[in-house]
């Protein structure tokens, strides 16, 4: 956005956030305006927990032990803006439905998948997608498919390793190196791998800084 200010970090992460809309289909998307930062990942990768840690509000994004609970594109914005043309939020965070959840009914999974892919292909205000990868498992086949889609759509994305506290530091460093090698083949991938732990608040400040940098582009 042209009116981004140097103190964007204050405008974004030092104020409360609110949920504004769940989008079950493309026709329900909010009007394009604020820059959007989306979070994608396999079911149970910890997207909601990471968003809550990012904004410092435990109850903002719904978390569950049941994979596949997020079935819509869930929109969050900083509170305190009217939403008018002259007072739009500086950005929106979008929690995307998890992919790769095989136990849900096939029709439901197909609907989620179609919604995610249509959104990725068609949203001009989408500035970056953070693709979350569980540190315990690394990049799986479904993750590769999403990375390929992002490449084809020429959408900038960055890999974020979640639950990094669940493996030992040497194993994490090895995983980061292996992941860097894998994404080097993907033209739309930002080359720096982020490692986070929502539970231990590790890497959260680095992720915030990365988002601020994207929003100032």
What pLDDT digit, counting tens, does each position of 7-64 carry?
A: 666 678 988 999 999 998 899 998 888 999 999 998 889 999 999 999 999 889 876 5
pLDDT at 3 over 70: no
Residue 107 has pLDDT above 90, yes or no: no
pTM given for the model: 0.89
What confidence score (pLDDT) does residue 2 get?
Answer: 39
pLDDT > 90? residue 129: yes
Residue among 191, 197, 188 nearest 210 (CA): 191
- On the question of pLDDT at 142 being above 80, the answer is yes
């Amino acid at each position: 956005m042209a009116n981004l200010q140097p103190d964007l970090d204050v405008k974004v992460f030092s104020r409360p956030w609110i949920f504004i809309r769940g989008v079950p289909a493309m026709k329900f998307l909010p009007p394009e305006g604020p820059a959007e930062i989306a979070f994608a990942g396999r079911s149970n990768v910890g997207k909601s927990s990471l968003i809550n840690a990012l904004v410092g509000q435990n109850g903002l994004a719904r978390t569950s032990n049941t994979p596949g609970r997020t079935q819509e594109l869930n929109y969050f914005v900083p509170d305190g803006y009217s939403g008018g043309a002259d007072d739009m939020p500086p950005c929106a965070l979008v929690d995307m439905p998890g992919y790769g959840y095989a136990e849900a009914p096939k029709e439901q999974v197909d609907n989620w998948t179609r919604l995610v892919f249509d959104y990725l292909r068609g949203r001009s205000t989408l500035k970056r997608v953070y693709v979350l990868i569980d540190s315990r498992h690394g990049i799986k086949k479904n993750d590769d498919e999403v990375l390929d889609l992002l490449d084809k759509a020429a959408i900038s994305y960055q890999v974020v390793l979640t639950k990094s506290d669940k493996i030992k530091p040497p194993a994490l460093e090895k995983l980061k190196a292996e992941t860097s090698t894998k994404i080097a083949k993907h033209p739309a991938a930002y080359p720096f791998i982020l490692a986070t732990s929502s539970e231990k608040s590790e890497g959260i400040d680095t992720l915030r800084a990365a988002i601020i940098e994207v929003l100032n582009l």
